[in-house]
Structure formats: structure tokens, C-alpha cells
Structure 1
Amino acid sequence: MDHRSETGHVMFLSPERVFYAGLLGRPRNRSTGSLLIYVGLGGRLMLTCGGRTQADLAIALIPPFVEHTIASDARSSLCFTVEPESVTPAALDLLARRAADQGPALAERICAAYVRLREGGCGPGFTTEELDTIVLGAPLARRRLDLRIAEAVARLNDFSGPAATAADCAAAARLSQSRFLHLFKQQTGTSFRAFRAHKRARHLLHFVNEDLNFAHLAQDIGYPDSTHFCHSIRRFYGLKPGAIFSGSRDLRIYRGAAQAEATAVAALA
């Protein structure tokens, strides 16, 4: 029997969402391009953000690209992440207000979602709408991107393919690079460079419970060398790659519909 099925540490991973239940790691500054919702699993949270520290929190919501430090008085915690380009700005604002106004109730719901997910409430091949409904009670309103930008986003989300540059994406969209970069930021709310850096670091999540050579992994997910890889991962996650892998040995990963298919294709390549 796979020992990972016994620990309760799980991650539901898709291009648009992550639901993680596991070790939080030592508190250090971190900043990712996702909207993050932390919930203490049998404990309370302490958040430091913008020079202000808040303790005894049931829930903490962090907007994308906001540097923060999160700690828990429990060994494990929950984190639900939303990729902002997949959701309307209005939906993100509503979610932030819900966390502020109904924090304890939302934290209780997310804890109940964890129990349901752990017991098989959502298996491999899940959709964004299914996961949102289990965790939040209803799907978040989907952002409609310009088709050319949507194709670039899909390309950057594909961890099994070669790294994409702005020039590559502009050529595929039949736009000048300057026009593409302007349209990309207008549509996603994020510069192409910051968006690509975030997605590249996010690709690490697919491999955290595997025994891999970091130098090879760095090249596989688009980093020029292991030094850049380690620096970027520490900046985004507040932890060194070795600490992330060490804390994820007992993690069971379930992939959403799109990435379950991409993983299968990569395995056959």
C-alpha cells in the first residue's frame, strides 16, 4: 500500500487551482502570483504582511504577488490557491470580502472540504468548477480572455513542453511583441515576465513527492541552471527546494482534467 494514502497530506492540482493539505514549513517571506487562502488545520495562524503582524487567525487571504510570512501553531495547514487570470476581478473582490466578513465560517467550510476531498469526494480528472463547489460552495465567475492571450496562458501552464518566450507567444498570436505584451497585461492584470516566472515556479508542484535530481528538474521546467532555480523557488515559496521535497514525501497528488492528460502525454514522450 502507498504510505502517502495514510497521512492525510494531499494536493489537488490543476492549471487554475491548488488545494493543499500538508506541512507549512518554517515561516519565511514568500510571494506567489496566486491568490492564497490559508486555514489552520487544528490550529490558528499568524500572518505578517506589510510590516503588520496578526495572530490567532482562523483564515488568511493573500492577494497575488503580495509578500508575506505565514505561520501556524499546528503541524499541518490548508491552502487553497486561485490563479487570478482564470477569475473575474469582481469574483476575486467578492472572495476577499467573504474572507473578511465571514472568516470563521469560510474556514470551517474549507476544513469540511478537506475531509470530503480526503475521503474521495473529488478524484483525478476533477474540474475547476467541481473543486470550487466543494471548497467554496459555488464556482468562481470565469474570466473571459482574448483567445490569443488564452492560448499564451495555456502554453505557459504546460509544464511538459518547452519554455515559451514573449517572442514565441507574440509570433503565435500574430502580434508585434510590444502589442502582445500590452494586451497580455491588459487581459491578465500581470506583466508577461512576472506571470511566466510565477508559472515556472508553480510547475515545481507536480514533482514535489518524487525523488529527482534538482539540476535536471530545473532544466526540465525552464530554469537556465540550478542556482536560478533555487533562488526563484525560495522567493516564491519561502523555502529551499530541498525543504519542500523533504516535507512532501508523504504527499498524494491528484491532478485536474487538463493536467492529468498532459502528465499522461509527457510520460509517453
Structure 2
Amino acid sequence: MLYGPDRVFYAGLLGRPRKRTSGALMLYASMDGMLELTVEGEPTRTVEAAVVMPNTMHSVSSDRLSVACVLIEPETIERAALAQLAATAAATPEAELAGRIRTAYRAFRHRPARHDITPAEFDTVIFGAPLPQRRFDPRIARVLDEMRAQPGNVLPASHCAAAANLSVSRFLHLFKAETDVSFRALRAWKRARHLLNFANEAINMAHLALDIGYPDSTHFSHSIRRFYGLKPRAIFSGSRELDIFRNAAVPLEHHPPA
């Protein structure tokens, strides 16, 4: 797995997850055989590859119990480019999209240096060119950079508002206007996403829950199941042999505040 704050490429065991609601744009491809995909409100489809929009409840399964998956953080891409990417992926023949993702897997696997892959390089391997980066009000960019760099830190809205010299209500309004998602929802997703950084480690679950910002194990388990459709222990048990290559955060661009 290539793990970074903006992109993730995973190839490995799928398990048998329940419904999940990822905060990222998801591109799925079977490693072998076909996948069963159910998106909320739509009939189940048998697919070789598929795209699922961010914050969309869905489930995916495979008799082969393996999958390749690309996670793209939506706030890192221009809105129009994100919509175009999703539309293009959905219109691409499944065999072609699956082949592109499998080819990317082989390219990443045989790359000598995998800890220094930038989002632009990641995008080029999969999509042929870097995806255009969204620019933010600098006050929001600073908050997003902190979320991405240290997602396990407790980050109250009141703290962010004060740092931006805004009221809490104005900060929350500006944050959603810039990112298209609420501060609370994005903070919850980044925290749950941070679990992937430790997925192949032998670690105490209760301690991990506290270390990445959850008040207790119950909240930890509930959040992980909501985002991944699996209990934390199931994720860890299926990731013991997983190689994880971690990439550092790249600061977001910003535009002058309105």
C-alpha cells in the first residue's frame, strides 16, 4: 500500500465488508475475477472496475477476496476536475479502467523509491497527468494542512477559528464553502483514514484509539466500521503481511482571502 495524505493505492485482501462511506473518491478494480458493487439507492452490479463518489454509502465484495483500490482526497482537486475525473472513469470501459489500475500496481510495485512519490507522480502513473490542485483561502489551507499532517491531533473548531481571527460560526461556514464538507465530517474522516498508517503493525487497539484522537474504543470501532465497513481488528488481521510505503504531506496551495 502507498499511503499519503492526498492519495492511497491499496492492493490486497478485501475481506467481507459491510456498507462503508469513504470520504475519498474511490476507484475499485478486481485483481482477478469480478466485484459485486452496491451503491445506496442503486441495484447491485457485477463489475471489473468502478468509481464511487466521496461520502457515498456503498459495499463491495469479491469471491477472490482481493481488490485494488485508489483513494483520491476530493479537497485536493479542483471541483471541475474532480467531476470530470469521476465522469471519465465511469464512462471508461471496465476492462480498460481495471487494466490501468493493475498496470499502475505493477509500476508502483517495481519502483525503487516508493516513499517519495508525490501526488503529481501518483496521478501521472494512473491517469497520465497530474490532477489540477484546488486552491484555498489561506486560513482554511492552514487548517487542512494541519489535519493532513497530524490527523490524530484533537483540533477543535474554536481553536481553528481563533487562529483565523474568525468567529466559530463564520469559520465553519467558510470551511464548508471551501471544502464542500463540514469541518466535523472531514475531521472524522481524516482521523479514521489515519488508521491505515498503522494497519500492518502489532499494536494495542485501545492504545491506538487514544493515540489517533478517539475518546475511547467504542467511538473508535464505530467510526472505523462506518468508514471502512470492517471492524478495526478485521483490518489489522488482514494487513499483517501488507507492505506500507508512507509519503509526506505536500502543503496545499491558497488564494487570497475574500
Q: What secondary structure does 2:20 align onto?
A: coil
Please give the per-residue CA displacement for 1:33-66, whole angstroms capped at 9, x wherever unaligned: 1111111001211111123333331211111111
Q: 2 CA distance for matches of 1:144 and 1:71?
A: 36
1:156 aligns with 2:147: yes
Q: 2 CA distance for matches of 1:80 and 1:127?
A: 15
One-letter amino acid of the structure 1 residue matched with residue 197 of structure 2: H
1:221 aligns with 2:215: no
**2:81 — aligned with what?**
91
One-letter amino acid of the structure 2 residue matched with residue 158 of structure 1: A
Please give the per-residue CA displacement for 1:99-151, whole angstroms capped at 9, x wherever unaligned: 12113322211110101111126511210000111111111111001111011
Q: 1 CA distance for matches of 2:112 and 2:132?
A: 22
* 1:1-269 alignment runs, 5 A limit: 11-104=1-94, 105-120=96-111, 123-159=114-150, 162-258=153-249
Q: 2 CA distance for matches of 1:205 and 1:27?
A: 16
Gaps in structure 2 of 5+ consecutive residues: 251-258
One-letter amino acid of the structure 2 residue matched with residue 136 of structure 1: F
Q: What secondary structure does 2:173 align onto?
A: helix
- C-alpha contact (below 8 Å) 1:49/1:67 kept by paired residues: yes
Structure 1 vs Structure 2: percent identity of aligned residues? 53
Shift of 1:96: 1.3
One-letter amino acid of the structure 1 residue matched with residue 173 of structure 2: H
TM-score by structure 2 length?
0.92
> Which protein is richer in helix relative to its size?
1
| CA-atom RMSD in angstroms | 1.5
TM-score by structure 1 length?
0.89
- C-alpha contact (below 8 Å) 1:208/1:245 kept by paired residues: yes
Gaps in structure 1 of 5+ consecutive residues: 1-10, 260-269
- C-alpha contact (below 8 Å) 1:18/1:81 kept by paired residues: yes
**1:5 — aligned with what?**
none
Deviant stretches of 4+, over 4 Å: none
Q: What secondary structure does 1:52 align onto?
A: coil
- Greater shift, 215-224 or 150-159, is seen at 150-159
Q: What secondary structure does 1:258 align onto?
A: coil
- C-alpha contact (below 8 Å) 2:17/2:228 kept by paired residues: no
Number of equivalences: 249
Q: 2 CA distance for matches of 1:57 and 1:43?
A: 9
Q: 1 CA distance for matches of 2:20 and 2:152?
A: 27
Shift of 1:176: 1.0
Q: 2 CA distance for matches of 1:75 and 1:161?
A: 30
- C-alpha contact (below 8 Å) 2:5/2:248 kept by paired residues: no
Q: 1 CA distance for matches of 2:43 and 2:69?
A: 19
